[in-house]
Structure 1
Amino acid sequence: MSKSATPAAKPAGTPPRRPTRNRFSVQRWWSIVLKEFLQLRRDRVTFGMIVGLPIIQLMLFGFAINSDPRHMPTAVISAEHSDFTRSFVAALENTTYFKVVRTLPDERAGREALMRGDVQFVLTIPTDFTRKLLRGERPAMLVEADATDPSATGPALAALANLPDSVARMDLKGALAPLAGGQSAFDVNVQRLYNPEGITQYNIVPGLMGVILTMTMVMMTGLAMTRERERGTMENLLATPVQPVEVISGKIVPYIFIGLIQATIILAAAYWVFSVPFFGSVIAVYLAALLFIAANLTVGITLSSLAKNQLQAVQLTFFYFLPNILLSGFMFPFVGMPRWAQWIGNVLPMTYFNRLIRGILLKGNGWTELWPNVWPMAVFTVVVMTIAVRFYKRTLD
């Protein structure tokens, strides 16, 4: 190489040349934008949440959520069957708040139906009602309401106020017209059971136990598998002879104790802070909470097996949590939702837990009344646990 091609040496003591600051490049910026779009396209869970969450919220809030429920199940106990009593029952259904679904033999059967949650209202027509009415003795009917959720029963009971006068004017004509004038020809006595004062906290605070346990249990276990995978410790599990059931159950047990601690804190606050009545068994509360915790932990483990990272696990948790809080009867009356929304709600364990915890605390329900809401949660837990084991085997492969 010739001497002329050799670069000139820098004089001694010359400071190094600082690189000039690059200006903003639209080309580089657009490359980064395209890169982010490509990553979003590869992340199917995130892309599904972007599209799925708005659709679910629109469907739930637009069609499923109804704060003014109609056609609520009503039972009738009638000691007589006259034209006037049949006219009153028809007028009751014409308000669109009541829907007669069954006829019960006596008051005891009606109270049991209310405790189980089979009906929302029970109408009792006493013996000799029509005879006393025609004599001008102003007989009274009785409407018993399951008032554990004041927002569900309030508008319906308000519609009963003008019903006696309208029915009397329609049926008491001719020689009987004087009975319909002035004072009401008969009365409808309303008895709000289980929450006579209509205190909202009595309904909300027990339901909060289901909300808090669902959120914490699903999220904590949802991050369990993904945390192992991101930290690289999953390979250690893969190298050991442990079975999928052993891994999953081993990860669930510590969170069961955490859930029971949370349940204890919520119960203490409900009793001492919010003065929620406690008519049922403490053992029944903890057994119901234990079953509900197990159901949510199996959901969390299943979601963590499906997710590739912790961000996806959190996204799937919210995707599961949203229908639970909206379709379980916690925020809005379950009986006011359309049939298809109730089908979805009947799949979720939080729906049954809300009925269990409110039934135990407010109604003092025993095992006979609790069983219809216990076995669906048990079946849900077994099914989801089976799915979790199958997906864990798939990750082993």
Structure 2
Amino acid sequence: MSSHARLAMFTRFSITRWWSIVLKEFLQLRRDRITFGMIVGLPIVQLALFGYAINTDPKHLPTAVIVAEESPFSRSFIAAMKHSDYFDIKETLPDEDAGRRALAQGRVLFVLNIPADFSRKLLRGERPALLVEADATDPNAVSKATSALSGLVQPVADKDITGPLAYLNGKPAAFDVQVHNLYNPEGITQYNVVPGLMGVILTMTLVMMTGLAITRERERGTMENLLATPVRPIEVMTGKIVPYVFIGLIQASIILAATRFVFHVPLLGNPVAIYLAALLFIAANLTVGITLSSLAQNQLQAMQLTVFYFLPNILLSGFMFPFSGMPAWAQFIGNLLPLTYFNRLIRGILLKGNGWADLWPSVWPMALFTLIVMGIALRFYRRTLD
């Protein structure tokens, strides 16, 4: 065969050769179960999250009441709050200190305070006020609910202030509702978003970097050398994690400095508490990354698993959308993610000045998450040794 004929054979497009390549790629995709799962799973997850979980008009927000006076007027106003769909009365608290603790710990977003002399002042025509304190660290979560409060006054007055008391029901209304937005009274969005960015950035970078740790060893052919040594799985895992702990602390320091001096977010709490919370959160993310690295067969799979883990974190943790506005199943998933608790910790320390007692409800779930995920990583790592 002449050189010209051979050149023509290779330059001519062949359906048979082309179809062989297509079949080969389909075969590889079928064998790569993680990639195939991402092809199907990611669209389903995105549809579920954006279609059902994300809600920019949160309702049924957790609310507590401090009732210093039981009267028909107070009961009617509490009932009106329930019927508005914006408020879900979770508990009755004894005093204002208990209300502030509930707001600081994030158990409730609103506290209604009904004073002891409310009915007496109302019957005297003195236009008493009900106090509603709101956790405004996330302005978007409470803005519509606080706007709805003013609309509850007149229906309650029309219902209860009748007959001989009808002369009290005029303009202005017989009583008032005063809303105090705590922790972020100006409603500055950066105060909520910028602290949360610390958790988002740490999650994205640390999980991705450690997610490639073991798969990189496997693809470079150095995994065999590592397996030939008497190094135990726990030693490999922790040894690979420690360098990234320092990277995470450096990132946290850079973000904290920008938060304070560029965006002027107040720092009301203890800086030591910030670094301890960041250290625990870094450990949680590194264990996730090393677990994904143990599960993945190559770096592409590790990257895909990282994206699959990162998507629910950014959408269900309360970083972008109000956590309380999500349905119960989405909140359940969000409560399994360390970023949810870190957002509460960092915002609580910076904006609320929370102390150790207020931080503990968000600390222990992250510690438990870290231990469980590390156990999973060790189990799957042992399987790779076989």
Q: CA offset at residue 18 of structure 1?
A: 7.2
Matched, 1:349 2:338: yes
- In our comparison, the structure showing a higher alpha carbon Rg is 1
- SS of residue paired to 1:80: coil
Q: CA offset at residue 20 of structure 1?
A: 3.3
Question: What residue is the counterpart of 1:269 in the other structure?
Answer: 258
- SS of residue paired to 1:160: helix
After superposition, where does 1:140-159 map in structure 2 within 5 Å? 140-159=129-148
Question: What residue is the counterpart of 2:197 in the other structure?
Answer: 208
Question: What residue is the counterpart of 2:370 in the other structure?
Answer: 381
1:144-191 Cα offsets, whole Å, 9 max, x none, are: 000000010000000012221221112111121121112110110110
Matched, 1:48 2:48: no
- SS of residue paired to 2:362: helix
1:318-350 Cα offsets, whole Å, 9 max, x none, are: 011111111111111111111111111111111
Question: What residue is the counterpart of 1:259 in the other structure?
Answer: 248
Q: Which moved more, 1:176-185 or 1:237-246?
A: 176-185
Given candidates 254, 267, 277, the residue that maps to 1:288 is 277
- SS of residue paired to 1:164: helix
- SS of residue paired to 2:149: coil
Q: CA offset at residue 24 of structure 1?
A: 1.3
Q: Distance in 2 between matches of 1:18 and 1:276?
A: 74
- SS of residue paired to 2:150: coil
The alignment's TM-score, normalised by the length of structure 1, stands at 0.95
- In terms of fraction of residues, the more helix-rich structure is 2
Question: What residue is the counterpart of 1:10 in the other structure?
Answer: none
5+ residue gaps in structure 2?
none
Matched, 1:329 2:327: no
Question: What residue is the counterpart of 2:13 in the other structure?
Answer: 24
Q: CA offset at residue 64 of structure 1?
A: 0.9
Q: Distance in 1 between matches of 2:205 and 2:19?
A: 40
Q: Give, as a single letter, the amino acid of the residue that structure 1 aligns with 2:104.
A: M
Q: Distance in 1 between matches of 2:56 and 2:148?
A: 16
Matched, 1:123 2:112: yes
Question: What residue is the counterpart of 2:213 in the other structure?
Answer: 224
Q: Give, as a single letter, the amino acid of the residue that structure 1 aligns with 2:52.
A: F
- SS of residue paired to 2:90: strand
Q: Distance in 2 between matches of 1:264 and 1:249?
A: 23
Q: Give, as a single letter, the amino acid of the residue that structure 2 aligns with 1:162.
A: G
After superposition, where does 1:231-250 map in structure 2 within 5 Å? 231-250=220-239
Q: What is the alpha-carbon root mean square deviation over aligned residues? A: 1.3
- SS of residue paired to 1:57: helix
- SS of residue paired to 1:119: coil
Q: Distance in 2 between matches of 1:82 and 1:48?
A: 59
Q: Distance in 2 between matches of 1:91 and 1:242?
A: 65
Question: What residue is the counterpart of 1:12 in the other structure?
Answer: none
1:88-126 Cα offsets, whole Å, 9 max, x none, are: 110111111011111111111101110011111000011
Q: CA offset at residue 78 of structure 1?
A: 1.0
The alignment's TM-score, normalised by the length of structure 2, stands at 0.98
Q: Distance in 1 between matches of 2:18 and 2:201?
A: 43
Q: Distance in 2 between matches of 1:187 and 1:256?
A: 52
Q: CA offset at residue 284 of structure 1?
A: 0.2
After superposition, where does 1:67-82 map in structure 2 within 5 Å? 67-82=56-71
Q: Distance in 1 between matches of 2:20 and 2:166?
A: 86
Q: Distance in 1 between matches of 2:115 and 2:357?
A: 28
Given candidates 265, 268, 271, the residue that maps to 1:279 is 268
Q: Distance in 1 between matches of 2:137 and 2:340?
A: 15
Q: CA offset at residue 86 of structure 1?
A: 0.2
Question: What residue is the counterpart of 1:114 in the other structure?
Answer: 103
Q: Distance in 1 between matches of 2:40 and 2:276?
A: 38
Q: Distance in 1 between matches of 2:191 and 2:346?
A: 11
Matched, 1:104 2:93: yes
Q: CA offset at residue 219 of structure 1?
A: 0.4
Give percent identity, aligned residues only.
73
5+ residue gaps in structure 1?
1-6, 8-14
Question: What residue is the counterpart of 1:298 in the other structure?
Answer: 287
- SS of residue paired to 1:275: coil
Q: Give, as a single letter, the amino acid of the residue that structure 1 aligns with 2:272.
A: I
- SS of residue paired to 2:130: strand
